[in-house]
Structure 1
């Protein structure tokens, strides 16, 4: 029969007290001391202090002293270990203890998983003043979430008891960013049972799960492969000037303005007179740099990495502007070269409107991956790093577009370095597994570097804003740009704009309620309920942010 921890502690304490009692009685009669002196001698001996004011004189007493000293040492060792174990157990379980009642939240968003993607999504929701609850079973990630200021529940979200206390019947949404599709499906089914109105967003790792998971109650399955393919496609057919969201979607999302990305200042020059400057944008780093002043100031002083400028244009002017853009031709490229073949490339090829004369080259690492490709328009070339330099010198031409997704990052870096050295005006897009890989590829010349964390964050936030009919977000590696309709419970209500800057919240424009013009705010102005503002939240560490 297994003895519980409580019974073990009771046995140890009883044994210890019995030794003290027996030793006190024996010392009383052997040494003929008072009860107080006898007890004092036992305690001093057990604690191994030994002041020397009371000593054993007889052989019998000395044997008792030896037993007491050994007992004292063991008691201190065992007691210290028990106390230490209790402290560690308390620390480990402090966030694991589930509340007895459901959490008292309304219109909150639950994020299951606080990895790189969960962290980014949680930041974006917090920027938009949405209450976020993080559920994470890993202790280190849970500590990181708590340190970052989020409400954290350290638990396994696949358990019904955990879902029960998250107040899902009052929640706005739940985002499932779990390690496998099976856990996602199981959790989605359980979450749906708590609320039919709950919006469930879930990342799925394989395309076949996409259709299946809808039957589990997931309103918005997000496939990294699928969404990334659409992002790549947008880079294949880009323009000198682009409207980042369609006028129709902006109307549905009740946005006051749309964001325009400008590469060539000669395109749309007349329309840009009606636009408001925001800042400079680097597509390579996916970074935005807020710039105050007139449009000419922004155009004349772009940073070295910023090849685009962002403008805001009011809703009324967007319709005509959008019509003018449709007559423009995309920036041309000669051929598309996929370096590496996998789900990303396959999904992208399925979404491309490939003409008969479009030439596509696939450089593959593993022949088994491309064995099923039979389309004669695709030229398949094996990649060998030992002969790669000669191969690239032979096949790369000016204006080729290279999209690299090699599984081996060494192959990707080698390709990037050689494309830079060949210097043939090749456009180069790199897919990387983690955000920390971005800088290395930017330094060797990649025009665009895409990481899954940012892709998934964009996908979920974009879908969330559409579902809730709120203006869209633009998510960058270094921050977040969006329009916000101030609510009475927002933490920025009544706060001076200059105080918000200290918190890395920049109010770029306030929309005048009478004229609907975008006005640069007075730094002493206090944000009011019902204000419409354009906000830039800087996500860089404080040391890198200039107020």
Structure 2
């Protein structure tokens, strides 16, 4: 729009300059009425001449007027056409380059993660993905705020402008080939609409992780198709309560959630020599066991042994960060 505005201003200035030149030498022109050129006639002649229309009802008759047409009007006409045609060519060229870039990008993109919303929650989710070693080029942001789009581009992330509730925008982000969709909007209503749209486009084949503000909307999101729902208000409330009653406990939670220092939660596959053993017997501190996508409780009197294909959630030292995938 800025480039278009500059060209419009340049075209208007060129027309006004041409009108001024014609008006100064208006006695050297003749129209069909032979009553001389008014200011309106000068505007008319300038516009039809610069646009190469040339009806012939106003013509230069004196040598000076014809010389002005040769020296000034003709080059101005060419410049005027360059401004108009140049604008069209630039728009078409930009569209062509964008289509080529998107085509090449989609050709390479697969099993990517779409993040709907680049606010506080969206940025935190992306930071967590990058800290676990996830490739930045496989993260696609969908955002409609100009400031957030600029910030995402400055951070080297792929960003698509648009409302994530619209099917066309999600299709542009290639949602059908995505690995998962993270919904981190500021509105619970928008989160529900995005969840429904993603489920409709992908037939439930893409994992949906959504964040909501209110606990009462969590059930609605799960019914809409979200696989995991995080309630930000209740989670923050629990942490506030822990800080009030048991301050040391919140320090442990923050240590587990803060990457690069102290302890961290990690996940790995069960090894062959661990199959058949109790998770409590392992050297690593296992806090949960995932079997076929379900969390197996380790507490109580029930004895649980590790099966082939189980995933172990354990606490690791950040100095040995290569031993598993942080979660």
Q: TM-score, normalised by structure 2?
A: 0.52
Instruction: Report the equivalent of 2:158.
Output: 151
CA–CA separation in structure 2 for the residues paired with 1:89 and 1:141: 27
Query: For 1:346-357, what aligned pairs fall within 5 Å after superposition?
Result: none
CA–CA separation in structure 2 for the residues paired with 1:94 and 1:80: 21
Deviation at 1:150, TM superposition (A): 1.8
Query: For 1:170-185, what aligned pairs fall within 5 Å after superposition?
Result: 170-185=177-192
Q: Deviations over 1:229-253 (max 9, x none)?
A: 12112212326478947xxxxxxxx
Match of 1:66 among 65, 68, 71: 68
CA–CA separation in structure 2 for the residues paired with 1:104 and 1:509: 32
Per the alignment, in what secondary structure is the counterpart of residue 193 of structure 2?
helix
8 Å contact 1:113–1:178 — kept in the other structure?
yes
CA–CA separation in structure 2 for the residues paired with 1:181 and 1:172: 23
Instruction: Report the equivalent of 1:204.
Output: 212
Instruction: Report the equivalent of 2:320.
Output: 509
**Aligned CA distance change for structure 1 residues 97 and 185 (closer, same or farther; 3 Å):** farther
Deviation at 1:509, TM superposition (A): 2.5
Deviation at 1:111, TM superposition (A): 0.4
Deviation at 1:189, TM superposition (A): 0.9
Instruction: Report the equivalent of 2:120.
Output: 116
CA–CA separation in structure 2 for the residues paired with 1:112 and 1:164: 13
Per the alignment, in what secondary structure is the counterpart of residue 228 of structure 1?
helix
Instruction: Report the equivalent of 2:234.
Output: 226
Deviation at 1:94, TM superposition (A): 7.1
Which sections of structure 2, spanning at least 5 residues, go unmatched?
5-10, 12-49, 51-59, 266-279, 288-292, 296-309
**Aligned CA distance change for structure 1 residues 163 and 85 (closer, same or farther; 3 Å):** same
**CA RMSD in angstroms, aligned pairs only:** 4.9
Match of 1:76 among 71, 74, 79: 79
Match of 1:189 among 186, 196, 201: 196
Instruction: Report the equivalent of 1:217.
Output: 225
Deviation at 1:175, TM superposition (A): 0.9
Deviation at 1:178, TM superposition (A): 2.5
Deviation at 1:534, TM superposition (A): 8.7
Query: For 1:34-433, what aligned pairs fall within 5 Å after superposition?
Result: 60-68=62-70, 69-70=72-73, 72-73=75-76, 76=79, 79-80=82-83, 83=86, 99=102, 104-130=108-134, 131-193=138-200, 194-238=202-246, 240=248, 244=252, 310=262, 316=283, 318=285
Per the alignment, in what secondary structure is the counterpart of residue 508 of structure 1?
helix
Deviation at 1:74, TM superposition (A): 6.3
Deviation at 1:188, TM superposition (A): 1.0
Per the alignment, in what secondary structure is the counterpart of residue 178 of structure 2?
coil
Task: Count how many residue pairs are aligned between Structure 1 and Structure 2.
Answer: 231
Higher helix share: 2
Deviation at 1:224, TM superposition (A): 2.1
Which sections of structure 1, spanning at least 5 residues, go unmatched?
6-11, 13-45, 47-57, 246-258, 262-285, 291-309, 323-463, 473-481, 485-506, 511-530, 536-547
Deviation at 1:185, TM superposition (A): 1.8
CA–CA separation in structure 1 for the residues paired with 2:222 and 2:325: 35
8 Å contact 1:508–1:533 — kept in the other structure?
no
Instruction: Report the equivalent of 1:532.
Output: 323
8 Å contact 2:112–2:178 — kept in the other structure?
yes
8 Å contact 1:95–1:153 — kept in the other structure?
no
